[in-house]
Structure 1
Amino acid sequence: MAEDGEEKLLATVQHIVQTLGRTDTMTEDILKVFSNYDGRLSLDKLYATRAAAAAAAVGGPGERSVPASPPMPPPPVAPSAAAGMPPVTSLERTVRTLDRQISQFVAMDRLIWADSADADAFLEAVDDLIGTVQELDAAGTNRGLLDRADELLSRCMARLEDEFRALIERPDDAAPQVPGGFGSDESEEEDYDADDGFGDEPIPIAKPVSDFDVVIDALPPGSVSDVHQIARRMVDAGFGRECAEAYATARRGFIDESVARLGIRSRTTEEVHSLPWEELEFDIARWIPAFKMVFRILIPSERRLCDRVFDGLAPYGDLAFVAAVRTQGLQLISFGDAVAAASRAPERLFRVIDMYEAVRDLLPDLDPVFSDPYSAALRAEVSAVCSTLGSSIKGIFMELENLIRRDPARVAVPGGGIHPITRYVMNYLRAACGSRQTLEEVMEGDLGAVGAAAIAVDPDRPTSSLAVHIAWIMDVLHKNLETKSKIYRDPPLASIFLMNNGKYIIHKVNDSELGILLGDEWMKQMMSRVRRWSMEYQRGAWAKVMSVLQTGGSGVGSITAKAMLQKMQMFNSYLEEICAVQSDWVIADEQLRADVKSAIVDSVMPAYRGLIGSLRSSPEAARDLFIKYTPEDVQARIQHLFEGVAK
């Protein structure tokens, strides 16, 4: 009875198949559905039943059937005997068998690679399926079977992709230990900064890393071997690009988190341009070590991992690598571009130089990392931001010139002291020369070669582009100071002002590499100017005094005693006037102050002593002579000049 029930069931299935199976593919699919539904409806039984039905129908209506004995069930024959169906080949049986095997793996609700035996069996089935598809494709005789195999291969590749991504993303294997860097123990290696603008929760910020000779092993060797086996099957099956994208998708999360731990946040160009300088400077201070970390450690480590996962599978490893790192790489590069294109206020020079040097110094190390055609564009972007930052440095120097020109001549510096613009420019240039090598590179305009070979600095080269540029800035400053000196109504005080600023410039040039850049000839010209201003001061401030004393020498005999006494009174008046007016004048440099006083003493005192001697030698004058200031008194008053208001 059980056998009769099974025969009836098989007959019913065959009827359904004949009714609904309009094509070979539909027939195969229907048979497969029934075989999965009930164990009694195996594919072998169903095919055997169909074959028997087809054999019974072979006789046709023109033949007479004479049963000599009770009918025997037809022997199981191959489905090739079925009317209207192609012969069942070994490839068809292989596809059916692989379908059963692979479907079991694809339907698993756990990772196949959680069991090494399952993983090996699955890979073996995948290899067989790939070979079968290739064989069917080469034969080109059974398109329906090829479509079915391709559909099975697609499902197989989708599951492989899921396994591939899961193996890469496992948290326990994707947390590398880098001193002070990625994957560090938060309790020991990280600081929390709640004011980084990333949200309400504090972001763990990694401490800076100074040793860049580090490689991140993001996956253990066993996992690398597993994902490599998967990658090889996907490439062999023609799914190389899908595999590369799966790798990039799996790795981007790690890269994004790593960059976030470095305290970097994405900013648009508009945001960068609108930020207050203090805030932007803080961002730059974080960007520089982050840029070094990403391009010296993180990206090279990704290259190493890609090369291992896709070993022998070029160019898919190159595609996976650039797809994984491009977004964060471009984010860092775009920040550099935005800073370079922002305001070129002179105070930004030193941070821009730091950025430029950070990019320039790593360019040579990027050549082996970005050696393939797919990542060459990213290497070019890094080189381009280096050039852009260099151009920004040039622009900042030009803006310094404009700042000096625009500095208004409105308020005179009390006492003819050093003007703030002089202090600012000289200290600025002196500090800038701390990066003289970089500035030489930038000013020479050889930005395309930076990183390959630094430009040698010639100590006796005052004609370099940087030297010429600084000499031009000094000339602009000199003209600005001369304009400012005209504010002073008293010409001698204007000379004091120019003297003070000129001497300060000489001091700053001598005390730095500015002296090398400007050269000896420039220095001689500047010292000559200071001497000229000193002489102009003496002639202007002491002209009346010297005019009085000039007649007190050898020509005294022709001057009456009364006239000599009047000249003494005039000298006393002029001396008191000079000391009163110049009591708050200042010469800042001690040596210059001493030299000017000495020059005054040398010119005034001999003539004054001569006048006193002549008066004392004249009996008529000696009777009424009253010496208010002895030579020692006059010299003492001169020595108290130029000390400033405080003195």
Structure 2
Amino acid sequence: MGSMTDGGVENLKSARKLLLASLEKSKTLVATLEQPGPMFEEINRRLPSLEAAVRPIRAQKEALVAVGGHINRAVVPAAAVLKVFDAIHGLEKSLSDPQSDLPGYLSVLKRLQEALRFLGDNCGMAIQWLDDIVEYLEDNKVADDRYIVYLKKALEVLREWQNEERGHLDGGLLGAALERLENEFRRLLMENSVPLPMPSSSPTVGEQACIAPSPLPVPVIQKLQAILGRLSANDRLEKCISIYVEVRSSNVRASLQALNLDYLEISVSEFNDVQSIEGYIAQWGKHLEFAVKHLFEAEYKLCNDVFERMGLEVSMGCFSRIAAQAGILAFLQFGKTVTESKKDPIKLLKLLDIFASLNKLRLDFNRLFGGSPCAEIQNLTRDLIKRVIEGACEIFGELLVQVELQRQVPPPSDGSVPRLVSFITDYCNRLLSEDYKPMLTQALVIQRSWKQEIFQERLLIDEVLNIIRAIEINLDTWSKAYDDSVLSHFFMMNNHWHLYKHLKGTKLGALLGDSWLREHEQYKEYYSTIYVRESWGKLPALLSREGLILFSGGRATARDLVKKRLKGFNEAFDNMYQKQSSWVVVEKDMRERTCQLIVQAIVPVYRSYMQNYGPLVEQDASSSKYAKYTAQSLEKMLSSLFQPKPVKHGSFRIRQSSGKFTNGITDEGGSPSTVT
């Protein structure tokens, strides 16, 4: 009994322990159940990941089996893309400095471009397969929705990068590398583009002028060509052309600045007539020839060398832009401005100067600016030539009419040579010179061809002869306009001598002939004789000796007679001297010859008279009234006659036939006036 009791106690103890343990667990459970909030939050946090993890297990078996194939097909191109992408960034470290190692830089750049092309091509395939996977996962609910949304966003970013010319697939590495290459292109140009040194004085450009060699060394050209090839392959040729045009046109402008070409910007309103810019027109021809043969010729050759592999259209287009920006258009505009100025005979010569300059450069213009990219330069040049030819022919055609219109203008009051006569004789000689006759003839031929008319060989010659004949008629008309016949003779003496002297030995004189020249020389002698006889030649008769011998015994009577005759001589001399002191003989030899004739007509007679009869009045208290002059003082006064006044050289301006002219070809002081 005692043993059973002991065994029972042990069993009870064990049961008690179990109950106590169960009780503690129950208490713990009760305590936990009393706080459900935190526990449910933890369960809620872990459920999504748990759900995503077990979703493939919940998906249909067929969907789980098929997803493996989709993944395998997408992994291969995706892995290739990642591998190439890693290779591209490996090339970044291999890109050297293009300035120090251009061939190496270009080689790496080519590999980079090829890798990027491969990346772009395969990236599209990888995106397509990954897109299929996402679509499959979404349709078959194999993956979590949030995960699918994340995948879609990533694929959308990849598509955007690919559509932007693949520029972002390499993180902008190729674009940056190409920009460095463009900078190297600019650096090579700028460091090797040096303005052509100008001569210390204005350039004299003649037939022997050499064409400037290519201004860039061959190695530099080769580097530029290599850079152009790589940039052109990346659609950056236009950027290179812009850089090239900017640098080279700036270089040409810097060369031209030394020539001081500010006058090219002059406008029609800034000058009154062609004479005011005559010097600029002469400079224009020299500067244009220098620019074409030295600067633009060199740029044309250099464009062909640098852009040789890009094609003729590219090189010509590049050159045309350089020429336009460097200043060729300004040269052509200046010529056009001259054609728009007022009509004037001098303008004809200046237009022919412009025509001669353009004609001399005709072959150069056709070669340099003959391509279609230079259409603007061609059009401006053709327009300028047309304006020059039409303007020159129009002025030449109006010369005869303008000379005839001058007949209504009063002759010069000083009896000198009218400005029209001296101007036209010199002008016609210049038209017949080797400088202008060929150009004027060519202009007339071209102008007639435009009108579908045949040019007559003697058109120029006959027109010049008609102008000279009109001048002769003008002289006759003007001589009859004087109220004083003596001044009329003086005027004709002056002008016949001028025609003879200034045309003898000239092309115009040879055209008129020796008989014509001799005729004017004879007319000069004829009018000179009449002039002296009808004016100064009448004075010696006032110093008559008649009656003085009869009164030899009566000094008082003789003295009175001498006084009377000296007084009459002095009054006549003073009046004539005062009147003719304003008359002018421009030609020195003619002036000296005329004064000599007058002195010979008066002084010997006066000297003899004073020697014989001067003593009768010299001791008289009023002797100074009668013995007013000595023979020496008379000779000095007469020898100083007909001195020319300061002249203002000019031209007469072309007017329409109905136009009005100012009063007189020369002003009262003998200075030529411009007819307006």
Match of 1:116 in 2: 102
Match of 1:607 in 2: none
Equivalent residue in structure 2 for 1:159, among 164, 179, 186: 179
Tell me, in whole angstroms, the C-alpha distance in 2 between the residues paired with 1:487 and 1:133: 102
The offset of 1:295, in angstroms, is 0.9
Note closer, same or farther for the CA distance 1:541–1:491 as it changes in structure 2 (3 Å cut).
farther
Q: Does 1:312 align with 2:312?
A: no
Q: Deviations over 1:67-117 (max 9, x none)?
A: xxxxxxxx9x9986449xx94496x569746864787799x9xx6334436
Equivalent residue in structure 2 for 1:208, among 203, 208, 212: 203
Note closer, same or farther for the CA distance 1:536–1:513 as it changes in structure 2 (3 Å cut).
closer
Match of 1:498 in 2: 492
Note closer, same or farther for the CA distance 1:58–1:491 as it changes in structure 2 (3 Å cut).
farther
Equivalent residue in structure 2 for 1:273, among 269, 274, 291: 269
Match of 2:507 in 1: 513
How do residues 57-76 of structure 1 correspond to structure 2 at under 5 angstroms? 60-62=59-61
The offset of 1:229, in angstroms, is 1.2
Match of 2:671 in 1: none
Equivalent residue in structure 2 for 1:173, among 181, 184, 192: 192
The offset of 1:158, in angstroms, is 5.8
Equivalent residue in structure 2 for 1:483, among 473, 477, 483: 477
Match of 1:332 in 2: 331
Q: 1:441, 1:447 within 8 Å by CA — same for their partners in 2?
A: no
Equivalent residue in structure 2 for 1:294, among 273, 291, 295: 291
Match of 1:423 in 2: 422
The offset of 1:589, in angstroms, is 9.0
The offset of 1:266, in angstroms, is 7.2
The offset of 1:305, in angstroms, is 1.0
The offset of 1:213, in angstroms, is 0.9
Q: 1:95, 1:149 within 8 Å by CA — same for their partners in 2?
A: no
Q: Does 1:232 align with 2:229?
A: yes
The offset of 1:263, in angstroms, is 1.0
Q: Does 1:359 align with 2:358?
A: yes
Q: 1:586, 1:643 within 8 Å by CA — same for their partners in 2?
A: no
Q: 1:130, 1:236 within 8 Å by CA — same for their partners in 2?
A: no
The offset of 1:645, in angstroms, is 3.2
Tell me, in whole angstroms, the C-alpha distance in 2 between the residues paired with 1:284 and 1:579: 52
Q: Does 1:472 align with 2:461?
A: no
What amino acid maps onto 1:304 in structure 2? Answer: K
Equivalent residue in structure 2 for 1:261, among 258, 262, 268: 258
The offset of 1:424, in angstroms, is 2.7
Structure 1 residues 524-533 or 580-589, which shifts more?
580-589
What amino acid maps onto 2:111 in structure 1? Answer: A
Match of 2:438 in 1: 440
Equivalent residue in structure 2 for 1:128, among 114, 119, 140: 114
The offset of 1:529, in angstroms, is 6.5
Match of 1:629 in 2: none
Q: 1:426, 1:505 within 8 Å by CA — same for their partners in 2?
A: yes
Tell me, in whole angstroms, the C-alpha distance in 2 between the residues paired with 1:398 and 1:293: 33
What amino acid maps onto 1:147 in structure 2? Answer: N
Q: Does 1:246 align with 2:230?
A: no
Q: 1:444, 1:465 within 8 Å by CA — same for their partners in 2?
A: no
Q: 2:417, 2:495 within 8 Å by CA — same for their partners in 1?
A: yes
What amino acid maps onto 2:439 in structure 1? Answer: E
What amino acid maps onto 1:250 in structure 2? Answer: V
Q: Secondary structure at the match of 1:215?
A: coil
Structure 1 residues 469-478 or 316-325, which shifts more?
469-478
Equivalent residue in structure 2 for 1:645, among 641, 651, 656: 641
What amino acid maps onto 2:502 in structure 1? Answer: K
Give the TM-score normalised by structure 1: 0.57
How do residues 560-599 of structure 1 correspond to structure 2 at under 5 angstroms? none
The offset of 1:298, in angstroms, is 0.9
Match of 2:557 in 1: none
Q: 1:168, 1:251 within 8 Å by CA — same for their partners in 2?
A: no
In the alignment, structure 1 segments of 5+ residues that lack a partner are 1-52, 67-74, 182-188, 190-205, 450-460, 544-571, 602-639
How many residue pairs were aligned?
467
Note closer, same or farther for the CA distance 1:298–1:422 as it changes in structure 2 (3 Å cut).
same
Q: 1:363, 1:382 within 8 Å by CA — same for their partners in 2?
A: no
The offset of 1:533, in angstroms, is 8.0
Tell me, in whole angstroms, the C-alpha distance in 2 between the residues paired with 1:65 and 1:302: 72
Q: Deviations over 1:395-431 (max 9, x none)?
A: 55467657654487446443x4433332233233334
Note closer, same or farther for the CA distance 1:541–1:305 as it changes in structure 2 (3 Å cut).
closer
If asked which structure has higher relative contact order (CA below 8 Å, sep 6+), I would say 2
In the alignment, structure 2 segments of 5+ residues that lack a partner are 1-51, 129-157, 448-454, 535-564, 601-635, 644-676
The offset of 1:150, in angstroms, is 5.1
Match of 1:70 in 2: none
The offset of 1:352, in angstroms, is 4.3
Q: 1:418, 1:504 within 8 Å by CA — same for their partners in 2?
A: yes
Match of 1:561 in 2: none
What amino acid maps onto 1:174 in structure 2? Answer: S
Tell me, in whole angstroms, the C-alpha distance in 2 between the residues paired with 1:348 and 1:64: 98
Match of 2:7 in 1: none
Match of 2:44 in 1: none
Structure 1 residues 527-536 or 260-269, which shifts more?
527-536
Q: Secondary structure at the match of 2:308?
A: coil
Please, what is the CA RMSD of the aligned residues? 5.4
